[in-house]
Each structure stands twice: as C-alpha cells, then as structure tokens.
Amino acid sequence: MRGAEHLVWPAEESPLVYEDLLRIDDTLDEPTIGVMDRARVLAHLPRLAARGSRLHVTGIGGDHVAWCSEASYHRLLLRRPMLAIGRLRGFRALLHWPYGPMLRTLADRRSYRRWLTGSLADLRAPLPPPVTGALGWGVPPRLFPWITPDAGHMAAEVLAETAPYAEPLGADRGQHADLHAIHDTCRIIRQWDQMSVRAGLPMTSPFLDDRVIEACLSVRPQDRVTPWRYKPLLTAAMRGVVPEECLRRTSKAEASLDAAEGLRRHGPDVQALWADSRLARLGLVDTALLKDLTARPDTPELREAILYSTIGCEVWLRTLEPFDKEDGR
C-alpha cells in the first residue's frame, strides 16, 4: 500500500492461546470461543493507536468467502457428473477420504431436517469420518465426554423439540455450509469488535461486508473450491496487487502447535477455571475429566480445539459476576 507505514512485530511478542483467561471482564452478548485469542487480538492495538491508527482492518473472513465447502459437489454430482467425479477424486487423494464413507455421504439424499433429526439418536456416539461432514450437511451434533448426564438430557430434549422445524440456510448442502461458516465467524467477530472498541481501537473485517459476501458467493462453487488450486477466487482477484510468491501458496498455517504451547504455559490458569467452575456449579460438566485433558497439552484430542467452547461458556458465566481485579476472579 503506497504511503503506508509498515509496522512489524516479532512473532514471539504475540500472546499465545489461553492467555489471561482469568482476567477477562468484557461484557459480551453470548459465550464465544473468541475469548481464547482475546489477548492475541488486542495485544498490538495500543501501539497501533499510538501511531495514529483509527480503525484496525483485519483479513478475517477470507477463508469463508474466497473458498467454499466441498459439499457443493454433492449437488454438482447430479448436474455435472464428469466434472464432479474428477474433482472428488482429487479431494479424496488430497484429504485422504476413505471410499466407503465418501460414497455413502454422496448417496445420501436426506433433507437437512431429516439429517438433523436422524443424528439425534445418540449424541455421545463417536464422530463419523471427516468426509461425512465435508460432503454432508455438516458435522452432526455430539456431546463432549465431560458433559454430565443431566446436561446431556437437557440438550437432547431441546434438539428433539427443534429439529423437526429446522431449515437449512441455503438451497443445498454447499450453500448451507458456506453460510453457516460465515454466520459462525461473524458471531466471533462481533465479540472481538466489542473487545477492540473497549481497548481503544475499533476493528473492521471487510471480507465479511454484505456486498463482498454477495460478490463471492455469486461465483460458481467449482470456481471457488477445487483440489487443484488454493483459493482460486482470491488469487484471481489479487493478481498484480500482492506478490506472486503469495499467490503461489498452496496451503496456510494451522495453529495446533501454538495452542499446545499456550496450554503448557497457561495450563495453571485453565486448571483454575475448573477448580472453581461455574459450569460445574450448575451441574453441566465433570471437572475431573476437564482437568485430566487440560493436563495433556500435546494430546491429539486437542488438535480440534475441543476445549474452546466449554472454556468460552465458563468465561462468559464469570463475566456476569462482579469482577475482582486483585485475584482475577
């Protein structure tokens, strides 16, 4: 950007996941997994504001609008079978999808409502292979092992009451998955923006502007997601704007190593959440299981960030109470 002042901070200065969980006192609309990265999101805002920045522009949302769900190929298989079969074979090789679950998911013609209703038979069943969620209506609802029987019973009752009336967000699985991901991200961004405003520098994420979303979703799914190219829509839009080296990327980083290091460093704070858990007081979680999992930061179970939503609920409940800054409780 011409005329811009480029400020670069060493990566090691950025806070890790799980930092300062005990000191969060933001009044938020709802529980959010965004609290996990709160310290990281806000860390550099004071220095940016001091240099004259009045609005912090982020790139959040690019993954959600410039890419799309492979579930779009469920519908394309009927409309353009030769294209879909070739692409699906590519996805299978790239993502190591097993044939059996892949073919069963592609053959499944249930409506969203029937799929959701059918998935409620056992909320504690193991999750199906990832390809089932990738090509289906989504990942079926499941309860974590630390959810108590009473809490599980309440969740099952609510889902059983609402599932018969559930409607998808789009006309097919791909549209539903894309809009669901955008909605979920926007909910997190809303909470981050509230935190950011309170820290003194408002945040904006233009990828999630309504008109940008509309423009991106107007592009055919097969031109947005393909096993042969990474984010082709974004690559085409940025040709001649960003360096070719960036446009040649075929993947992006993932944060499981940062999360593991964060849990090693801040594990005592997370354990403190469970030692005096508001969720446990309500009879919703088994803290013994949570303490055991928190004590194992490198376990493969945590690669899918399964602790985040529970911690988000725990922190949110604490923000509803008077806050003592001396002891962080």
- The reported pLDDT for the residue numbered 31 is 95
> What is the model's pLDDT at position 37?
92
Query: At residue 327, does pLDDT exceed 60?
Result: no
Q: In this model, does residue 205 exceed pLDDT 70?
A: yes
161-197 pLDDT, tens digit per residue, is 999 999 999 999 999 999 999 999 999 999 999 999 9
Q: How far is CA 139 from the centre of its chain?
A: 13
Does pLDDT of 48 surpass 70? yes
Distance between CA 290 and CA 272 in Å, rounded?
A: 11
Q: Tell me, what's the pLDDT at 139? A: 94
Contact residues for 145 (Cβ-Cβ < 8 A; gap 6+): 124, 286, 289
pLDDT for 54-80, tens place per residue? 999 999 999 899 888 999 999 999 999
Contacts by 270-274 with C-beta closer than 8 Å and gap 24+?
270/18, 270/21, 270/294, 270/307, 270/311, 271/295, 272/22, 273/21, 273/22, 273/311, 273/314, 273/315
- Position 91 pLDDT exceeds 60: yes
Residue pair 34/312 in contact by the 8 Å Cβ criterion:
yes
The pLDDT score that the predictor gives to residue 3 is 81
State how far the Cα of 137 lies from the Cα of 175, in Å rounded to an integer. Answer: 10
The burial class, CB within 10 Å (0-12 / 13-18 / 19+), for 121 is exposed
HSE, CB side, 13 Å, CA atoms: give it for residue 295.
Answer: 7
Q: What percent of the chain has pLDDT over 70?
A: 97
Predicted local distance difference test score (pLDDT) of residue 254: 73
Give residue 286's region: left, alpha or beta (phi > 0; psi -120 to 50): beta
Q: Which of 212, 218, 156, 215 minimizes the C-alpha distance to 186?
A: 212
Please give the residue that has the higher pLDDT: either 9 or 254.
9
328, pLDDT greater than 60: no
Instruction: Give ∠ CA 264-279-292 in degrees, rounded to 5.
Output: 35
Average pLDDT over every residue of 289-301? 92
Encode pLDDT of 112-147 as tens digits: 999 999 999 899 999 999 999 999 999 999 999 999
Q: What is the pLDDT of residue 324?
A: 53
Average pLDDT for the chain? 92
pLDDT at 4: 83
